[in-house]
Amino acid sequence: MSLFKLTKRADYALALLAMLAKRPKGEKVSLSEMKSLGMPRAFMAQIAKDLVTGGVLISKEGKGGGYSLLKEPGEISVKEALEVLEGEVLPVDCG
């Protein structure tokens, strides 16, 4: 039994963050590269924009541009990322 279900938006965001966490610090991922994760470009662009606005990612436009993590991977919690996208994440009562 699953304790919670992720929306497609949250699922894509976590996949993007995992991809960025594996990269050397500051290395950017372009929207074209994100396509390798099976993400629709326009949907991914909106998710990335929201993560930038929420202080999780930074972006650079133009040649050599893309998205990278604002903080070290270990400093970003799943809860923080989900709350940027979905609003407050509340604990699940399993009882």
Residue 94 in domain: no
Query: Band of the pLDDT at 95, cuts 50, 70, 90?
Result: low
Cα–Cα distances in Å, from 69 out to 17, 54, 91? 8, 12, 26
Q: Is the pLDDT of residue 1 over 50?
A: no
pLDDT tens digits for range 11-56: 999 999 999 999 998 899 998 888 888 888 899 999 999 999 999 9
Closest of 12, 5, 6, 18 to residue 50, by C-alpha: 12
Question: What is the tally of structural domains in the chain?
Answer: 1
- Compute the distance between CA of residue 75 and CA of residue 72 in angstroms, rounded to an integer: 5
Residue 90 in domain: no
Q: Name the more confident of 83 and 3.
A: 83
Q: What is the mean pLDDT of the chain?
A: 87
Amino acid at 59: S
Q: What is the CATH number of the domain that holds 52?
A: 1.10.10.10
Give me the percent of the chain exceeding a pLDDT of 90.
Answer: 41
Q: Is the pLDDT of residue 64 over 80?
A: yes
User: Domain range holding 69?
Assistant: 8-85
